[in-house]
Structure 1
Amino acid sequence: MSQLFSAGVSPQISSLRLCFYGAGSMAEAIVRGLLDQGLTAPGQIGMINRQNASRLDELAARYGVQAAFDNEAKTTMIGEADIVFLAIKPKDAAEALKQLRHVLRPDQLIVSVIAGLSIHTMETLLGQPMNIVRTMPNTSSTISLGATGISFSSTVSEGQRSLAEAMFKSVGMTAVVEEHLLDVVTGLSGSGPAYIYYVMEAMIEAGRGRGLSEEASRELTIQTVLGAAHMVKATHEHPAELRRKVTSPNGTTQAAIETLDAHGFTQALVHAIGRATDRAAEMGKDIERSATHE
């Protein structure tokens, strides 16, 4: 792989061996996206986790991917991979990366989906500079409608950048940003689906509270949110402009918006996203402290 990338050429993903360290929902979403888009074959994908063998059996049966269960097999799978995905929980990251220090090769591409974990901290934990792609996807990736922020270490080649973007475009859209902005991506789109679900909860409850059945309130809410998102995307208009178009003077929508404003809806959401952004940074600092106090 390294010779191809050194020439600035992006090889076909199908020619590379991928290893997922972590087998949770995000790892599964990426695997499914890669396979559904025909970017690679199941035999090119290996998956490992710390101890949940039944989860690995489930994924191997569902997708035909390879699974490694004992430590020797895990080490071999990681060492032979061209691309290693780090899909572990932030609280487990420091210990896991220290264990990988003597397993990874300098020419491998490392793709991290660990919230808050900086490239600098990853290199500190691994004990050497690496080709690192730091990403922040969201859970909508599980249905190929994800939004992923991506940043790169200085050693990542153009070919590797193209490869990383192609992999995450298989589960949605991507936005390349400077690394210090990935915490903002985490607060905005990484945690973002939960904000929408929270609003939907309130809408459903409001409908039920005024007499609609649970089913009717739920279905009307789902279609409303879906339609609004599609309108923004299809028309390319700013949400504020679309809102103005449906807000008649002294009408129902104006009454509702004025009530939301009176309760500080916009500021509450802005503050919430800001707090999620700050929390991502705090999580990263926690990991960094554990990395520098070995």
Structure 2
Amino acid sequence: MTPTHPRPTRRTVLGGAALAALAVTAGAGTANATSSTTWPTEFPLPDGWLPEGITIGSKPYAYMGSRANGGIYRTDLRTGEGKVLYAGATGQVAVGLKLDRDGLLYVAGSTGVARVHDSRTGEVLTTFQLTEATGHFINDVTLLGDRAWFTDSRAAALYGVPRGRDGEVRTLPLTGDWVQTPDVNSANGIVSTPDGRGLIVVSSTPGKLYNVSLKTGYATEMALVGTDTVVNGDGLWRTGRTLYVVQNRLNLISVFDLDAKVTTATLRRTITDPRLDVPTTAAQFRDRLYLVNARFTSPQTPETTFNAVAVSL
């Protein structure tokens, strides 16, 4: 087990001058300047973008990755206007993303890697090789403590990457109740438990939720009340003891109440919207949940149109 280190600051990675520049940029026009009720609830992405991940920090900007080339697109939630922040490169993929409070952007790179970007410039700061083996699918990421934790849809393991600096990757094998289905995607979305002591992971196949111990990797299957399965479970979002599960090909978000020990998830309601077209992941800003439409059932070509939408909570 890798020792716990003090939480690094962004100054460690970017230096004081870059941090000062970020503060000026991020502070211009904060979310409190306008009411979100007038903000757009739908905004376009570039044709052929192939989005799957979205993340939003404390400022009204959404970051969305591309499966086509690993690019990063940033949209101003107040106006719906966006730009390509990072153009990507041949062979790169950007799936799940999470924005750190220090402005570092952690990206699941699918093919065994994870990258850390400067969210101000898009520059790739660090690339971590999570596994040397082929056939892995690094899918989603969440931030907890001094690490960013990544799921691998094709292996019974999580990977912990040091936040804010170089360091060793921690591999956490999944044991206990975990079921790894051969040749299909299993582990997908990931969030921390409310007490910060563990991780909640959704398995798209067979459609279960697990509470994973950070110390041992033991995965305890969570009891579902009000439904039998979260099949096609993709991105997760949690606020307090409310867990949102994006079920991509079902075009819905299931909203669960978690019990105090995170052993049971009780279905409270579902959210649907005619604009949902195979949504994959979600991020919250104020009273809205923003989702990207991956459109897996449509042609995935350079001419295919893509967008992100917001639904009210």
TM-score (norm 1): 0.28
Greater helix content:
1
Greater strand content:
2
TM-score (norm 2): 0.27
Larger radius of gyration between Structure 1 and Structure 2? 1
